[in-house]
Structure 1
């Protein structure tokens, strides 16, 4: 049971990281909203899709 809890916390942290990266990216506002909604409503699938295809935060 603890592994499920730890896995959930890890997924939450990764989703938060993805959302912060999406918001800081150069994508259009509509694109950002769609990616954030995808990550929020489908946490695991949304994160994987963002990792493969999503916008990245601008490099400083």
Structure 2
């Protein structure tokens, strides 16, 4: 995966973590609706960070 694509995906996940709970999940009355979404996005961000930064090496 290229760095540019990886960082673009990370940015999209961060934007989704902010936008989705306040728009698509705003009518969910239970608090765990947003919590589950943020948990899944958090796991996805960590895994994507591992993939993107795996190629970084010290010189």
**What residue number does 1:22 align with?**
20
From 36, 40, 58, the equivalent of 2:42 is 40
Aligned mates of 2:20, 2:38 — CA distance in 1: 7
Query: CA RMSD, aligned part only?
Result: 1.8
Aligned mates of 1:16, 1:34 — CA distance in 2: 15
- List runs of 5+ in structure 1 lacking aligned partners: 44-60
- Using structure 2 for the length normalisation, give the TM-score: 0.56
- Using structure 1 for the length normalisation, give the TM-score: 0.55
- List runs of 5+ in structure 2 lacking aligned partners: 46-59
Aligned mates of 2:4, 2:16 — CA distance in 1: 18
Tell me how many residue pairs correspond in the alignment. 41
Pick 1 or 2: higher relative contact order, CA cutoff 8 A, min separation 6. 2
Q: Return structure 1 stretches of 4+ with deviation > 4 angstroms.
A: none
